[in-house]
Structure 1
C-alpha cells in the first residue's frame, strides 16, 4: 500500500492511495480463512468447504469490503502519522473508474486540515463588566406591575363601558338569522380591548351600560377556524348585565401570598433577586460579546475555506427565511451569500475554532446533567409532546451536539473570563438597557 502526497498548499491537502491487487487478494484470503471453520455448504461438512468454492461464493463481496478497509486503514494511519485533523469529511475518488478484478486500486483523497491555533495570553485581555443593583425604585416598579396584573373589577356605577372595563353579558350570535353552534353564552365576562373576540366585537360594546341591549354586527375573518363561519357576516344580540372598572390589587401581604411569598418583605426580596439575576444575564451577554470582539481582533490564523463557505451559506439561508417567513421548507432558488455574510462567517469560524481549541486544552466538557437540563428546557416548548421529544433526542446524535455546543461555548467563555482582566463598573438599569439595545442593533 502506498500513500503519495499530491497537494500541500496552505490548509489544502491531497494524496493518492494505491492498494495493490496482491494486498487485496491477501485480505480476501485472510477473511475467507477466518470464516472457513464456520461455513457449511451442501455436499461438504462444516469447515471443509474448499477455499476455491468459498472465493467463488463470497469473493466479490469480500473484495469490496477489503478494498474499503484497506483505504480507510491507509487514511487513518496517514492522519495519525501526519497529525492532520480534517476540517470536514475527506473527499475520495477512485481514479481508475474502469477498474476490474485483478487491477490495483488507486484513490485520490483531498481535504482541508484544521489550522494550528496560536496560544493567546488571556490575562492581557481587558474587559468591563456592567453591574446593576436592584434598587428600591426598581423593586417598587416591579411590585406595581404585579399589582396591575392581579387587578380585580369593581362595579362601575352609572358609567358607560370603556376600553379596559369588564362587561358581564348574555349574547346570542346569528348568521343569516340562524343561531350557530358556539355563538351563545350567559353571564360572560369580557374585558374590552383584550382581543378575546373576533375583530370589531369588543369595539361594538364600547359605551354600553348595565341593563342595556345592543346588537353588534361583525364579519368573521376569512381564515376563521370554523370553515362554516369564515368570511360570514353575523349579528350578536347582547344583553348587558353589569359594567365593571379595573381596580389594581393593593401592594400588601395578601398580594405577596398570591405570588408564593409569606409576606410583602419576602416578595420584595424575591423580586430583587430576580431582577439582579436578569441584570447579571444581560451584563454577561455584553461582556461575552466584548470578549469575542477582543479575541477576533488579536487572533489570526488560516481558515478552512470549506467551513467558511458552509457557514456563509447557512447564514444567508437563515436570514433569507427570516425575511420571507411565508416560505416554508427549502423549495426556493439558490441563495448567494453576500460579502457581509462571508465576513460574518469568517468571524464565526475563527472564534469557533479558537474556543474549541481552548476548551480542549482546558479539558472542558459538557456533563450529562448539563445536557439533560438543556433537553428539559427544550422539551418545555412542546407541551404534551415531551415523550416524543425525548425519544427524538435519544435517536439524533446531531441534535444532541447542537444542544451541547452553546453550553460548551459558555463554559469556555467563563474559563477565559477567570483569566482575563475584568473590571466591574456599577451603572444604572437604564445604562444597562442601552448597552443591551446597542448589542442587538449590531
Structure 2
C-alpha cells in the first residue's frame, strides 16, 4: 500500500494513502455479501437476493459508502503499522467523504487523505543552572498551643453558672419560638419553619446561627425571656425566609460554662488514648509533626518553582488528544474526590456546567502536560531511571501500609515506578539548579491579582465556585479534625 507522510501542526502526521485495486474490490464484495446475508427482502429467500436487486433496493451510493468506511478504517490502521507511526489517537479523514463516494469504483485504486495525532517533539532550552524563588514555610510557634486549646474545649466539662449574665463562650439551655412576616401586605405572621425548640443547648459562639441570634442571648440572665429581632440573609436556602425579618421569643432556662482540663500528664494520656504519658511528650510529638509538615510544604514549593520555570524552557506542539485526555482526567479526579467526601456531584456538574468546566481546565491541563514532557526530557537527556530493585522495595513498603486492602498489583507497580522516577528527576533538578527561599506570602502570582481585580466569568464560575466552596468546607472540617487530635500523622 502506497503511503505518503506529511508533518502537520499540533503534532499531527498527514497521510495520503492509496488503496490498491484488489483491496478496493474485496471491500465492496464483502459489503454486498453482508447485505445479502442480513437483509430480508420480500420475494427472496434470505441469502439468495441477487446482487442487482440489492443495489437497486439500497442504492449504489449507500453500498459504496459502507465499503469506503471499511476501506478507510482498515487502510488507516495498516498504514500506521506499515509506516511504524506511533499514533496516539484523533484519527481524522481529510478527504471529502462525498467526493470519495463519487470517485470510488470497485476494483480501481482509491486515494484518500487523513491525519493522526502523535507524541509531540520536545525541546528543552535549559534545565540546569536556573535560578528560581520559592516560599519558605516556617512553623507557627502558637500552633501547638492552639491545638491543645482546641482539644481542651472538646474535653471540657460543662458546669452551671450563677450570678452573672450569659457571655460569649457559654452554653445556654433555651426555649425559643420564631415568627416571620411573609412577603406581601396584610399577611399574618407565620412560624419560622424549624424555628422552635425546647431545652435546646446553644453554644454562644460566632457563626452558629444567623446574625443577631447569638448576640441576642448574650447578656440575658437565667429565667429571663425576651424577643430577639433578626433578618435572614438574602442567600438563605429557604426562599420564603431569604431576606425576611423575624422575631424569636427566647427564654434562657439555664447557663453553663466550660471548665477546661489542666494541661498535665493526665490530659496527655486521655487526649492521646494512652499513646503519650506526659504533656512534654505530647508537645514534642506535635512540634515534630508540624515541623515535618512545613518542611514538606517548603520542599513542595521548591519543586513547584523549578517545574514552573521549566514551563518557560520547554517547547512542544501539543496534540489535541493529549489535552483532551488530561482535561478528562482532571475533571474526573476532582469529581471522584468530592464525591468521596459526600458532595453531590450531579448537582454541581451538569450538561451546562461540565463543558465550561472542561474549557476552563484546558490551560492547567496544558501546563501539566508540558511539565510532564519537560521532566521526561530531563530524564532522557541525563539517563535518569529507576531499577527493578528500587521499585520492588517501594512496592513492599506501600503494600505494608495498605495491608488488608484490595490492591491491583499491576496498577500499584506502575504508580510506584512513576512516583520513583518523578522523585529522582526532581532531586536531580534541585541539585543542579539554584532555589532562593523567600518569606511566605511574597510570591503572589500576577494571575491571582488579576482575578481579584477583574473578577471571574459567570456561568462556569458559579459551578466551580460552588465546588471550591464545598471543597474548602470539607478541607476545613478535615483540618479541624486533624488539629483536634494530638496524635501525629
TM-score normalized by the length of structure 1: 0.62
Residue 304 of structure 1 corresponds to 318
Aligned in 2, Cα 1:227/1:292: closer, same or farther, shift over 3 Å?
Answer: closer
> Does the Cα contact within 8 Å between 1:87 and 1:113 map onto a contact in 2?
yes
Using the TM superposition, give the Cα deviation of residue 26 of structure 1 relative to its aligned residue in structure 2, in angstroms: 1.5
Residue 417 of structure 1 corresponds to 426
Q: Secondary structure at the match of 1:304?
A: coil
- The answer to whether residue 250 in structure 2 is matched with residue 238 in structure 1 is yes
Residue 379 of structure 1 corresponds to none
Residue 102 of structure 1 corresponds to 105
Structure 1: distance between partners of 2:32 and 2:267: 83
Structure 1: distance between partners of 2:379 and 2:40: 54
Aligned in 2, Cα 1:140/1:2: closer, same or farther, shift over 3 Å?
Answer: same
Using the TM superposition, give the Cα deviation of residue 241 of structure 1 relative to its aligned residue in structure 2, in angstroms: 2.3
Using the TM superposition, give the Cα deviation of residue 416 of structure 1 relative to its aligned residue in structure 2, in angstroms: 1.1
- Deviations 1:165-213 (Å, cap 9, x if unpaired)? 3222222333456655533322222122333333222222221122222
Structure 2: distance between partners of 1:133 and 1:3: 62
Residue 121 of structure 2 corresponds to 116
Q: Quote the RMSD (CA, aligned, Å).
A: 5.8
- Deviations 1:70-90 (Å, cap 9, x if unpaired)? 323333344345454456513
Residue 460 of structure 2 corresponds to none
- Deviations 1:307-353 (Å, cap 9, x if unpaired)? 89989x99xxxxxxxxxxx9997589999x99xx97x8875443232
Structure 2: distance between partners of 1:131 and 1:225: 41
Give 1:168's match in structure 2, choosing from 153, 173, 188.
173
Structure 2: distance between partners of 1:301 and 1:127: 19
> Does the Cα contact within 8 Å between 1:286 and 1:439 map onto a contact in 2?
no
**Correspondence list, 1:276-315, <5 A:** 276-293=291-308, 295-296=310-311, 299-304=313-318
Give 1:191's match in structure 2, choosing from 203, 206, 214.
203
Gaps of 5+ in 2: 181-187, 329-347, 403-410, 447-489
- The answer to whether residue 371 in structure 2 is matched with residue 351 in structure 1 is yes
Structure 1: distance between partners of 2:302 and 2:426: 9
Residue 271 of structure 1 corresponds to 286
Structure 1: distance between partners of 2:45 and 2:241: 79
Q: Secondary structure at the match of 1:234?
A: strand
> Does the Cα contact within 8 Å between 1:171 and 1:185 map onto a contact in 2?
yes
Aligned in 2, Cα 1:229/1:113: closer, same or farther, shift over 3 Å?
Answer: closer
Aligned in 2, Cα 1:259/1:273: closer, same or farther, shift over 3 Å?
Answer: same
Aligned in 2, Cα 1:182/1:106: closer, same or farther, shift over 3 Å?
Answer: same
> Does the Cα contact within 8 Å between 1:152 and 1:246 map onto a contact in 2?
yes
Number of aligned pairs? Answer: 387
Aligned in 2, Cα 1:33/1:254: closer, same or farther, shift over 3 Å?
Answer: same
Using the TM superposition, give the Cα deviation of residue 259 of structure 1 relative to its aligned residue in structure 2, in angstroms: 4.7
Gaps of 5+ in 1: 315-325, 375-400
> Does the Cα contact within 8 Å between 1:222 and 1:230 map onto a contact in 2?
yes
Structure 2: distance between partners of 1:256 and 1:128: 43
Aligned in 2, Cα 1:123/1:354: closer, same or farther, shift over 3 Å?
Answer: closer
Aligned in 2, Cα 1:43/1:270: closer, same or farther, shift over 3 Å?
Answer: farther
Residue 163 of structure 2 corresponds to 158
Residue 23 of structure 2 corresponds to 23
Aligned in 2, Cα 1:229/1:42: closer, same or farther, shift over 3 Å?
Answer: closer
Give 1:202's match in structure 2, choosing from 214, 228, 232.
214
> Does the Cα contact within 8 Å between 1:212 and 1:241 map onto a contact in 2?
yes
- Deviations 1:265-309 (Å, cap 9, x if unpaired)? 464465345424523441332132133145345x54442375899
> Does the Cα contact within 8 Å between 1:303 and 1:350 map onto a contact in 2?
no
Q: Secondary structure at the match of 1:289?
A: helix
Q: Secondary structure at the match of 2:196?
A: strand
TM-score normalized by the length of structure 2: 0.57
Structure 1: distance between partners of 2:424 and 2:115: 36
Structure 1: distance between partners of 2:10 and 2:353: 37
Structure 2: distance between partners of 1:184 and 1:96: 71
Aligned in 2, Cα 1:348/1:418: closer, same or farther, shift over 3 Å?
Answer: closer
Using the TM superposition, give the Cα deviation of residue 6 of structure 1 relative to its aligned residue in structure 2, in angstroms: 5.3
- The answer to whether residue 161 in structure 2 is matched with residue 146 in structure 1 is no
- Deviations 1:338-375 (Å, cap 9, x if unpaired)? 9xx97x8875443232345678995899x9x99xx99x
